[in-house]
Structure formats: structure tokens, C-alpha cells
């Protein structure tokens, strides 16, 4: 409310000769705001300074270099690099297509204080090519693969995370009500934590943005993380195969939000109770129990 009152007071139209026209008009207010803004901008108020800045931009100088040089030479008036950027991406600068002279040549400006990752989201040392060979040949128990099953847009952000243990093909499915990486990793740790440490040695993901908080897993539950190459989901073929089999019971039009924990357990039990040729016709449940018994 106070913002509206301040706007009316600042940009209200008043005419002593025609008092019946006094009031607030959107077009008049916009013009007044634009005029005030122009009075504050040095590159609009000082044509010679504007010409000099544009000439240096056309020579390939960045706004920071131009502002720094003006300060070094002690010239007056001087401008900051922020003032130059504001003019370049403003109406006058856009009409003159000044952005094409910037080093980045972006037509739209990125937020100044947008969050930037402190390092690589998926660093090279976490590549699947750095993964130990015993994981690749399914020699050790406790090496998992993970993925996210997405559904029709009508189902909202709800999704299902799928995990499969590489040696026993034991499957775990759990529901997520949102796709945020923080929520997914917290849920994953809650699901995996009851297992003994040797049963959750590592997880291999693809490079989806929902896995970008992977760094929480090692300090949280002691699980290492590996990532497939970009656009190479076949490198985690076990979980891709699991997703294909799970789609029999979870087609893309499934109302995920309506699925209960009992529903999810029933689907997992069916998947894990099916004999597998790769296990010598044992079920994943039987193979998983055998491996768990060895850990005792």
C-alpha cells in the first residue's frame, strides 16, 4: 500500500489551469520516470563522454577497461563499468546494437549477483572412466546405479527415483514430490542409510541437474559417486533396464502423487521376485540376501 501511495505522490499529474484533469495517468508517470532516469545517467547527459565510450567499445575495449582508463587519466566526467553496461542494455544502447561490441556479445545481460557454482558440477575425477575396474565387472557388492523416472506434465513435479545394485540387480524405487536436487539427495540418503556401509559403496548417475548435489552423499552416508559421459545413458545399463521393466507398472500417465509407500513396496517386491537369467535364475531378492549374509 505504501508503495502505491509513494508512486501516486511522485508521478501524479497536476495542472493549475485545468484542475479537473489532476490525477494519476500511467503514460504520464512512465514518461516522468524515464526523464528522471535520463537525468541521472551520465552517458545521456554528456554527449561527448558517450561518443568517447562508444568509440572505445568499437575498438574492442570492455566496459571495465574503459572505466578504468578514464580513472587512470583523471578525466572528468568519469563513469563506472556498471553505468556503461546499464546504457548498453538499455533502450538507447539496444537500438544502436552496442551489445555486439562487448567481449561476451550477449544480447541480454545476466544477473550481476546470480549464484555461480564454486567448481565443476561434474568434475573429471568423478567420471565413469575413473571408476575402479571391480565395479565395472560387477565383482563387488554394494555398487549401485541411480536414475529418475519422469512422468507426464499433468502429474506435476512428482517423480520416482530408481536404484539398482549392480551385482544382484536388486531394485529400490521411491517417490519424490519434487525434482529439486536437495530433496532428492535427502530422500536417497534416508532410503540408503539403513544398509550397512559395505552395501552402499558407490552410486553411478547420469549428468542430470537433479544429481548436482551429489557431494552430500559421501560425508552423509559414505557413498562414492560416479557419472556417465554426457548423452551416454547406456553406460548405466542396469538402471535403464530396471526403468524399462518398471514402466510395465508405472506408465507415464501414472498419478504418482497418489502412490502410497505400500504401492511402491509392492512394485519393488514384484520386480525383485522375478527370476533373472543373469543370476542363474535366482531372484534379485535371493541374491541380495546372500550378499547381505556374507557381511555379517
| pLDDT tens sequence across 201-225 | 999 999 988 999 999 999 999 999 9
Which CATH number is 184's domain given?
3.30.420.10
Residues 165 and 232 reside in one and the same domain? yes
Tell me whether the omega of the peptide bond preceding residue 276 falls within 30 degrees of 0, making it cis.
no
pTM above threshold 0.75: no
Integer-rounded Cα Rg, in Å, for the chain is 30
Residues 132 and 270 reside in one and the same domain? yes
pLDDT tens digit sequence for 45-62: 888 888 999 998 888 888
| pLDDT interval class at 114 (50, 70, 90) | low
Residues 227 and 283 reside in one and the same domain? yes
Half-sphere exposure of 14 (CA within 13 A, CB side): 6
Q: Is the pLDDT of residue 228 over 60?
A: yes
Residues 277 and 236 reside in one and the same domain? yes
Q: What is the dihedral of CA 81, 112, 104, 69, to 10 degrees?
A: 20
| pLDDT interval class at 116 (50, 70, 90) | low
Contact 179, 259 (CB under 8 A): no
Residue 243: which of 138, 166, 150 has the closest Cα?
A: 150
Half-sphere exposure of 2 (CA within 13 A, CB side): 0
| pLDDT interval class at 110 (50, 70, 90) | low
pLDDT tens digit sequence for 156-205: 888 999 999 999 999 999 998 888 899 999 999 999 999 999 999 999 99
Residues 16 and 49 reside in one and the same domain? no
Residues 144 and 259 reside in one and the same domain? yes
Number of domains in the chain: 3
Residues 221 and 235 reside in one and the same domain? yes
Q: Is the pLDDT of residue 5 over 80?
A: yes
- Distance, CA of 270 to CA of 295 (rounded, Å): 25
Domain interval for residue 8:
1-40
Q: What backbone torsions phi and psi does residue 243 show, to the nearest 5 degrees?
A: -60, -40
264-274 b/e with 16+ CB inside 10 Å = b? Answer: beebbeebbee
- Distance, CA of 123 to CA of 106 (rounded, Å): 27
Residues 85 and 141 reside in one and the same domain? no
Q: Is the pLDDT of residue 118 over 60?
A: no
Q: Is residue 123 part of a domain?
A: no
Q: What is the dihedral of CA 99, 101, 103, 109, to 10 degrees?
A: -10
Whole-number average pLDDT of the chain: 88
Residues 142 and 255 reside in one and the same domain? yes
Residues 185 and 159 reside in one and the same domain? yes
Which cell is 202 given?
A: 558407490
Amino acid at each position: 500500500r505504501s508503495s502505491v501511495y509513494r508512486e501516486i505522490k511522485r508521478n501524479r499529474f497536476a495542472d493549475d489551469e485545468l484542475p479537473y484533469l489532476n490525477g494519476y495517468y500511467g503514460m504520464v508517470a512512465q514518461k516522468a520516470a524515464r526523464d528522471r532516469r535520463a537525468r541521472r545517467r551520465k552517458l545521456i547527459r554528456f554527449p561527448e563522454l558517450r561518443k568517447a565510450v562508444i568509440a572505445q567499445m568499437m575498438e574492442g575495449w570492455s566496459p571495465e577497461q574503459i572505466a578504468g582508463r578514464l580513472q587512470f587519466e583523471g578525466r572528468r566526467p568519469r563513469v563506472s563499468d556498471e553505468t556503461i553496461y546499464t546504457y548498453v542494455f538499455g533502450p538507447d544502447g539496444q537500438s544502436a546494437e552496442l551489445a555486439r561490441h562487448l567481449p561476451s556479445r550477449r544480447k541480454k545481460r545476466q544477473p550481476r549477483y546470480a549464484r555461480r557454482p564454486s567448481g565443476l558440477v561434474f568434475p573429471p575425477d568423478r567420471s565413469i572412466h575413473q571408476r575402479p575396474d571391480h565395479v565395472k565387472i560387477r565383482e563387488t557388492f554394494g555398487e549401485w546405479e541411480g536414475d529418475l523416472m519422469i512422468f507426464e506434465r499433468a502429474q506435476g513435479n512428482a517423480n520416482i527415483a530408481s536404484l539398482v545394485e549392480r551385482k544382484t540387480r536388486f531394485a529400490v524405487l521411491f517417490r519424490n514430490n519434487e525434482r529439486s536436487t536437495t530433496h532428492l539427495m535427502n530422500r536417497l540418503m534416508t532410503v540408503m542409510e539403513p544398509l550397512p556401509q559395505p552395501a552402499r559403496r558407490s552410486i553411478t548417475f547420469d549428468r542430470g541437474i537433479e544429481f548436482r548435489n551429489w557431494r552430500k552423499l559421501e560425508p552423509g552416508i559414505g557413498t562414492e559417486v560416479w557419472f556417465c559421459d554426457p548423452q551416454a545413458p547406456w553406460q548405466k545399463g542396469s538402471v535403464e533396464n530396471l526403468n524399462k521393466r518398471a514402466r510395465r507398472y508405472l506408465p507415464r500417465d501414472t498419478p504418482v502423487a497418489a502412490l502410497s509407500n505400500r504401492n511402491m513396496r509392492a512394485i519393488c517386491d514384484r520386480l525383485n521376485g522375478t527370476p533373472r537369467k543373469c543370476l542363474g535364475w535366482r531372484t534379485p531378492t535371493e541374491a541380495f540376501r546372500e550378499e547381505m549374509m556374507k557381511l555379517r
